[in-house]
Structure 1
Amino acid sequence: MADALREQQLRMAGHIRDPQANPPPPGIDARRLAVYRQLFFGNLQSLLAGSFPVLHASLAATHWQALCEDFYANHRCQTPLFTEVGGEWVGYLQGRTDQPGWVAELAHYEWVETALLLSDAAEPEHDPEGNLLEGVPVLSSLALPLAYAWPVSHIGPQHLPAAASAEPTLLLAHRGAGHKVTFSRLAPLAHALLASLQAQPLSGREHLAALAEAVGVAPAAIQAPGLALLLSLKAQGVVLGSRWG
């Protein structure tokens, strides 16, 4: 009995996801199932449109509809939480290599704000007065350095780029005081430093030496502006201090 019920439930779910590929289970009127599909799919579309308003407005209605239907029918979410469906949508679009490159990047850009707003990540342990050059600088868990091939902050219904930018769009997303998320443009050095802080626990001096080697200059040439940058990031709450010890 239990197996039969489970089979019926699976067939019903398959039909609601994709009625063209999955016939309804026996004994259930397809018209009634259509009501369920309209309810469930409509809720999903509303959720995605509200979470990704610029992407929604930038795609033709038929294009948006087709993506939503394919996502609903074929993507298997790894979370039951509505608040995390946006991240699943971003992952789905990143796998759709048949789409214009800006589609997945714009979705990620829009999702970052929601992810930071909802984040309950605790800040890592740190010494707020620690030496940022000799110690290991600690990056806030609510600060994300971002790099995009497309000009995501300028894409909209009236501006759909035909090709990626000559230079990457480098941004910092940060949730600061008042639970407010801000995006700011980053110079290449600032982005490289933040990405390095995010990737590995080195002293500030070691981070700057690695950056100097990457751009082919002597470490001394980058140390003063690098330290000034670290101090500025600390004043903004992006860098918290250094590790204890």
Structure 2
Amino acid sequence: MHKVLHDQLMSLARHVRAPQDNPPPPGIEARRLAVYRQLFFGNVESLLAGAFPVLRASLGAHSWRRLVESFYAGYRCRTPLFTEISGEFVDYLAEGGSEALALPPWSVELAHYEWVEAALLLSDRREPAHDPEGDLLDGVPLLSGLAWPLAYEWPVSEIGPGYRPEEAPEQPTLLLARRGADLKVHFARLAPLAHGLLESVQGRYCSGRQHLAGLAQAIGVEPDDILSQGLALLETLRAQGVVLGTRAGRAV
């Protein structure tokens, strides 16, 4: 690209992203530049407003606009896909965007909670080979890639314009998000044991018996004390499609 044209385009792009910090390129009337700014910013703001309706309503119009303007002007997305901008927005908040704007401390987790639904709806993940009737105790349980155990410090499922907590509760909010056969995303609260088991199955390649032994050690009981309860939970999760069955191969 010719250097003059390149410089003109970069000047225009910088001005459109952050007009308060970058002078307009020469030769373009202010009215046309305003149209460009509103068009590009409006598209991004509309996309994010649709993806994060609760966060937008909870922050209020002024704080929401400041947040989107900051993201739009200063963050460099790593994807050109519109469907993935909401994930980039969550990354921006997690990397310090919420702190820079002094947003409520629950903003990052609320944004992530809202993003999860879209991420699962749009996921094209294919499940690996498995045995749906496998032994969940001696085999290696396989968690569906469309079932995510989640843990939040803040009560994200309750936050909204009418409830903006100032302090996090003592107990975390433990949830399971999953895309069902109806192609809808469902959220359910989890007991600590169920959440711990799902996280273990998600992160470790070992038998169901080993998963339960690890949980027993973590809570200070003997493995036999939770074996029957843990097996019943695994079977329930298999019936719900959260646990698909067992992986091919043997546990190590």
TM-score normalized by structure 2? 0.95
Deviation at 1:157, TM superposition (A): 0.5
Find the aligned partners of 2:169 and 2:129 in 1 and give their Cα distance: 38
RMSD over aligned Cα atoms: 1.0
SS at match of 1:166: coil
1:125 aligns with 2:129: yes
Find the aligned partners of 2:135 and 2:111 in 1 and give their Cα distance: 38
Find the aligned partners of 1:210 and 1:64 in 2 and give their Cα distance: 43
SS at match of 2:41: helix
1:168 aligns with 2:185: no
Choose from 186, 192, 196 the match for 1:192.
196
1:73 aligns with 2:73: yes
Deviation at 1:99, TM superposition (A): 2.5
1:41 aligns with 2:41: yes
SS at match of 2:157: helix
SS at match of 1:184: strand
Choose from 98, 110, 117 the match for 2:114.
110
Equivalent residues of 1:124, 1:140 under 8 A apart: no
Match of 1:235 in 2: 239
Find the aligned partners of 1:16 and 1:29 in 2 and give their Cα distance: 13
**Please, which moves more after superposition, 97-106 or 178-187?**
97-106
Match of 1:101 in 2: 105
Deviation at 1:104, TM superposition (A): 0.8
TM-score normalized by structure 1? 0.98
Find the aligned partners of 1:87 and 1:125 in 2 and give their Cα distance: 28
**Please, which moves more after superposition, 27-36 or 194-203?**
27-36
Q: Which runs of 5+ in 1 are unaligned?
A: none
1:52 aligns with 2:52: yes
Find the aligned partners of 1:187 and 1:132 in 2 and give their Cα distance: 20
Query: Percent sequence identity over matched residues?
Result: 64
Match of 1:221 in 2: 225
Match of 2:213 in 1: 209
Q: Which runs of 5+ in 2 are unaligned?
A: none
Find the aligned partners of 1:31 and 1:10 in 2 and give their Cα distance: 19
Choose from 138, 158, 165 the match for 1:154.
158
SS at match of 1:183: strand
Write out aligned runs for 1:4-43 (5 A): 4-43=4-43
The alignment of Structure 1 onto Structure 2 pairs a total of residues equal to 245
